[in-house]
Structure formats: structure tokens, C-alpha cells
Amino acid sequence: MESFAYLCRSFLFLTLLMSAIAEKNRIEDTNVQTVPSDLRRVVSEAVAIERRFLQGGTVEQNCSSEEDEVSNTPCPPSKYRSASGECNNVRHRPWGRRGDVFIRLLTPNYADGVSQPRTSPHLPEASLVIQAVSQLTEDNQNDYVTSMLAAWGQLLMDDLVATSNGN
């Protein structure tokens, strides 16, 4: 019974110590990348461009980047998707092809400014992130959301991580 009481006191002490350390780091941490204030505008513009494409807008009307000559060539009829990703979107041949760069919503934040990932001293602690996220969430009752959404999100993230990013 004495060892149980000792374990309880030790656990309480560790909990208080970790809480104090987390609070100290929360105050001192300046390495957290914040979402830009114009994120809503960036997302709205991307959605507007997609909507114009779906309503029949042309590439020239919607994009500032020049598409290559291949984009004007009709896609061959096929039951399956191509390995290169080209022609997976019949209306917009180059969309989704291998090696294309995604549009970033946030600026890249690398350790060397180019490609090196940041290391732990420059990242927030996992416990602080979990605490911040848990404070942001509301208790929403969405019967239509299942654990399949989490599985789909993981699949999507694995795909995005494997995709090249532009500099």
C-alpha cells in the first residue's frame, strides 16, 4: 500500500512539473508559425478559380501560368487512369500529373530556408499542440462523420507528403 501511495505522489509531482514546463514553454515559444490573416482570401480565390473552370472558363482566363502545348491535345479515351497522372482530369489534361507542384496556402518554413526540415528546438512540443487543439475543438454532434473520415484524411496526408513541393 505504501508503494501505491508513493506512485500516486510521484505521478502527481510529474504532472505538476510537466504542466509548469508546458506553461513556461507556451510563454517563451516564438517558433510557432501562425496562419496568415489572408488565408480566407487565398482559399476563396482558389475556390473561385475552380468554380470558373467548372462553369467552362478557359485556362487563359483563370491562370497566370502558361500551360504547355500538350494541354490542348485531347486525351485518348481510356477506362483507366494513366500512371503519369496526365489525362486523369479529362477537361484539364495537365491537372494532377506526376511532378506538378501544389499551390501553398502557407509559406514554406524550413530550417535552412530551402529544404531542411526543422528540428525539435524550433518546433512546439507535442503536448502543447495537443492541448491547444483540444481547447479549440467544440463538442459537435455530427452523426454523418465517422472514423472513415480520419482514415480518408490519413490517406490524403500520405499522398500529399509524397508529392513534391516547389521552392
Query: Sign (positive/negative) of CA torsion 137, 144, 43, 83?
Result: positive
Q: How confident is the model at residue 132 (pLDDT cuts 50, 70, 90)?
A: confident
Interacting residues of 56 by C-beta distance below 8 A, sequence separation 6+: none
Report field, pTM of the whole predicted structure over 0.75: no
* pLDDT greater than 70 at residue 88: yes
Using one digit for the tens of pLDDT, what is the confidence trace for 57-75? 655 554 444 444 455 667 7
Nearest to 166 by CA among 99, 119, 118: 99
